[in-house]
Structure 1
Amino acid sequence: MTTRSGPEWVLFDMNGTLLDPSTLSAHLPSPLDTESAALGLLDESIGQSMVDTLVGRPRRFGEYLAAATARRLRLAGMDATQELVDETVAAVRQMPAFDEVPAALDRLRDAGLRLGVITNSATAVAEDALLYAGIRDRFEGVVGSDVPGVFKPDPRVYRVGVERLGARPEQAFFVAAHGWDTHGARAVGLRTAWVSRKERILLDSYADPEVSGYDVDEVAQAILE
């Protein structure tokens, strides 16, 4: 009987996994200034990016967020002014880390694991966001969707991310708070860890993650066990 060796890398999704997108609500007028509305903007943007990846015409992620913001404003009977839309798009660079994230990352690094980020945000946007959140120094590298030119869960994003970071799929965990994201990572051979904070229960149609936990701290603990 063979046993699986321990990981060398832990790779993270960024939006909704490391950083809290609910704070986007502060940039939206009532009645859109709620956590559910902010998370809905992100989910709608992700959906648009998936569609464009499938049809072969991906654009910048910020364009999807702008379109989702404008739509939500119009549905609420408001003017989708360029100023308000631009403010919301810019706010993705200023999301805080979830409270437990810095200490959890330190725990993984103290155990000798190497850390990286693979995100649907553009690399420059992700770099700014991680700097703002005060956690950029924990990661050896950040790979955004602009590098492969498509969006997760397209297999190319994970493969290019792993290659750029110098990791090997079988020796790396990919951590995400979205079942579709861990499902995509699993399909290319990455070991997966699911943060259940938002979704709570996975769809039965998704591949089971190797480990799971409510937040990044619980997932880090499970990876180290």
Structure 2
Amino acid sequence: MPRVLAFDVNETLLDLKALDTAFEDLFGSAAPRGPWFAQVLQLSFVGGITGSYVDFTTAQRAALQMIAERQGVSLSEQQIDATVALMTSLPPHPDVPEALGRLAATDLHLVALTNSVQDVAEQQLRNAGVRDLFAKVMSADAVRRLKPAPEPYLAVAAAFDVHPGDVRLIAAHSWDVTGALHAGCKAAFLRRPGAVLSPVGPQPDLVAGTLTDLADLIVRRDCR
């Protein structure tokens, strides 16, 4: 039975739609925001596959440059810095504070597990008003292997001195869920709008459309 709940942060807990205004200012439309984050993930994953580590902040900056080139827009270093800095002030999704508070009141340990670098992750959760609900904030950057590589999930198990099967990941990303399951952890998929599970490979045992509903399932399944 899971004893540790490991929460993904970006998109799972925090709402990237808050970046839309900045993307409208840069590109005249918020539409490139989705492709930008997809490019961030691609750069991160390629770094992991090739053994050439790319931290998440570097990937965000590089992806913004690539999107700008694709859009035929020239961005200054100051514009790139300002846009990437907005990642530290993303608001939580509306269902996050109450659901996290409910889970934090159980005997389960809550940890934030993110690909964001440590100082950014701390700022993100503090600015979102939920940092105190977590026992730990852990960045995959500490092991220089970003999710969905197994090392970040195994680092959570080691930090709490539990078996990987005693860790449950909660994420709105299918790739994150797959990574956790392959590392031997449990997983719960949060079906945020537009998020779908891959039909390939192992499947999570818990799925819900809101964190409120997912918290209900976790309490029934994982709490003693």
Common fold, TM-score beyond 0.5? yes
Question: For 1:208, what is the secondary structure of its paired residue?
Answer: coil
Deviation (angstroms), 1:30: 5.5
- Determine the C-alpha separation between the residues in 1 that align with 2:184 and 2:33: 32
Question: C-alpha separation between the residues in 2 aligned to 1:21 and 1:92?
Answer: 8
1:159 paired residue number: 154
| TM-superposed deviation, 1:37 | 2.6
Structure 2 CA distance, aligned partners of 1:200 and 1:129? 22
Alignment of 1:50-199 (within 5 A): 50-199=45-194
Letter in 2 for 1:150: R
TM-score when scaled to structure 1? 0.91
- Preserved CA contact (<8 Å) 1:116 1:165: no
Q: Is the 8 A contact 1:10 1:114 kept in 2?
A: yes
2:202 matches 1:207 = yes
Residues 180 and 186, structure 2, Cα contact 8 Å, conserved in 1: yes
Sequence identity, in percent?
Answer: 28
* Aligned match for 2:44, one of 38, 43, 49: 49
Q: Does structure 1 retain, via aligned residues, the 8 Å contact 2:190–2:208?
A: yes
Distance 2:160 2:116 in 1: 17
2:213 aligned with 1:223, yes or no? Answer: no
Distance 1:165 1:124 in 2: 21
Once the two structures are superposed, what CA deviation does each residue of 1:87-125 show, in whole Å capped at 9, x if it has no partner? 111111111111110100111122222100111111111
Structure 1: tracts of 5 or more residues without a match: none
How far residue 168 of structure 1 moved from its aligned partner, in angstroms, is: 3.1
Tell which deviates more after alignment, 90-99 or 160-169. 160-169
SS state at 2:81 partner: helix
Give the distance between the partners of 1:32 and 1:103, measured in 2 at CA: 35
Asked if 2 retains the 8 angstrom alpha-carbon contact of 1:155 and 1:188, the reply is yes
Gaps of 5+ in 2: none
Aligned CA distance change for structure 1 residues 162 and 43 (closer, same or farther; 3 Å): farther
What is the letter of the counterpart of residue 82 of structure 1?
Answer: E
Aligned to 1:23: 18
Specify the code of the residue in structure 2 equivalent to 1:219. L
Report if aligned partners of 1:22, 1:39 keep a CA contact under 8 Å in 2: no
1:20 aligned partner, one-letter code? D
TM-score by length of 2: 0.92
Structure 1 range deviating more: 127-136 or 154-163:
154-163
User: What's the CA shift string for 1:15-40, capped at 9, x where partnerless?
Assistant: 11011112122222254542x53232
Q: How far is the alpha carbon of 1:60 from its aligned partner?
A: 2.0
Mean alpha-carbon deviation: is it higher for 40-49 or for 133-142?
A: 40-49
1:25·1:32 contact (CA, 8 Å) conserved in 2? Answer: no
Q: Provide the aligned C-alpha RMSD in A.
A: 1.6
Q: C-alpha deviations, 1:61-109, integer Å up to 9, x for none? A: 1111111111212222211211111111111111111111010011112
Tell me, in whole angstroms, the C-alpha distance in 2 between the residues paired with 1:113 and 1:77. 49
**Kindly tell me: are residues 166 and 134 of structure 1, through their superposed partners in 2, closer, same or farther at Cα, counting changes over 3 Å?**
farther
